[in-house]
Amino acid sequence: MNARSLFIPITLVLVLGFLIGPFLIIVAASFSAGETLNFPPQGFSLRWIAKVFTVESFQASFAMSLFLAIGGTAAALVLGIPASYALSRYKLPGAEIVRTVVSAPIIVPGIIVGLALLRYIVVPFQVGITLALFVAHTALVLPYAVRVVSASLDNLRSDIEEAAVLLGSSRLGAFFRVVMPNIRGGIMSAFILGFVTSFNQVPVSLFLSGPGVRTLPVDMIAYMEIVFDPSVAALSSLLAFLSIGIVFAAERFLGFSRYV
């Protein structure tokens, strides 16, 4: 073996070890039988994985994160699909402005978005925490929704809906009967991307989380500042497998990577 053919396997092992190794350690640590977080784990048990399900604040914050991820992404799609359709099929006056405004939340750091919402929307208008988080997560996911749905609309020939309209369908009927079935994969992909983004999001939620109302990742950070047991490791592994599972299923059934 010469130096060049050794270069490839060595590089790959080192880089993948650095990228994935820490995650494997977390998974191993979550099966520990010991009291504190350690590696190599002391013994084998499922006690920390079981404990995750009994911590009350995790239950509440998991439900909150799930609600925000599903509800916020759905709301972003309800706003984003018509906007993407206008951007890709119409001569829209000020199209560039619309595109910039809806994709702006991706450029500005999340912590600033959260702070601005808190100071100028939540406090002056007395908005509830849950509603504020919902609005913030919708704004956060909107750029992804518009980008992914636009990409799948651009890949679809526009003359099929023109044909439907010529044959007597209404514009709305043409959209639901001709366009929607063809971009279903794109919409599902946008939903999954939005879901994962929203679920893992911390900075936006940081300032908006209030007493008793927290998203799961914010709750995990708060928990690990106080308790140093392997339950956060166990929860992290469970969540990681959940998101990997969702993405893999999406790739298999929808060809996710074509849209993202």
Site for other proteins in 40-79 (CB under 8 A): 79
Site stretch for other proteins (CB under 8 A), options 20-28, 50-58, 66-74, 183-191: 20-28
Please state the closest distance from residue 26 (CB atom) to other proteins, in A: 5
C-beta closer to other proteins: residue 8 or 226:
8
Site stretch for other proteins (CB under 8 A), options 34-42, 47-55, 56-64, 176-184: 34-42
Q: Which residues pair with 210 in a beta bridge?
A: 213
Please state the closest distance from residue 46 (CB atom) to other proteins, in A: 19
Instruction: Tell me: does residue 85 bind other proteins (CB under 8 A).
Output: yes
User: For tokens 């504020």, what's the residue?
Assistant: 132
Q: Quick check: helix, strand or coil at residue 41? A: coil
Contacts (CB under 8 A) with other proteins, residues 198-237: 199-200, 202-203, 206-207, 217, 220-221, 224, 232-233, 236-237
Please state the closest distance from residue 253 (CB atom) to other proteins, in A: 16
Q: Rounded distance, CA 226 to CA 129, Å? A: 24
Please state the closest distance from residue 54 (CB atom) to other proteins, in A: 20
Contacts (CB under 8 A) with other proteins, residues 94-153: 97-98, 101-102, 104-105, 107-113, 115-117, 119-121, 135-136, 138-139, 142, 146
Dihedral sign, Cα of residue 144, residue 125, residue 63, residue 224: positive
Instruction: Tell me: does residue 91 bind other proteins (CB under 8 A).
Output: yes
Which one of residues 53, 240, 249, 253 is an interface residue with other proteins (CB under 8 A)?
240
Dihedral sign, Cα of residue 233, residue 234, residue 236, residue 237: positive
Instruction: Tell me: does residue 38 bind other proteins (CB under 8 A).
Output: yes
Report which residue type is found at 117.
L
Q: How many residues bind other proteins (CB under 8 A)?
A: 76
Report which residue type is found at 45.
S
Site stretch for other proteins (CB under 8 A), options 43-51, 54-62, 80-88, 178-186: 80-88
Q: Quick check: helix, strand or coil at residue 219? A: helix
Residue 222 tokens read as 């708060």
Closest C-alpha to 215, from 227, 226, 206, 225: 206
Contacts (CB under 8 A) with other proteins, residues 157-176: 158, 171
Q: For 192, how many CA atoms within 13 A lie in the half-sphere containing its CB?
A: 22
Please state the closest distance from residue 258 (CB atom) to other proteins, in A: 13
Closest C-alpha to 224, from 29, 94, 43: 29
Which one of residues 7, 53, 176, 253 is an interface residue with other proteins (CB under 8 A)?
7
Closest C-alpha to 235, from 247, 248, 224: 224
Q: For residue 228, what is the enclosing H or E element?
A: none
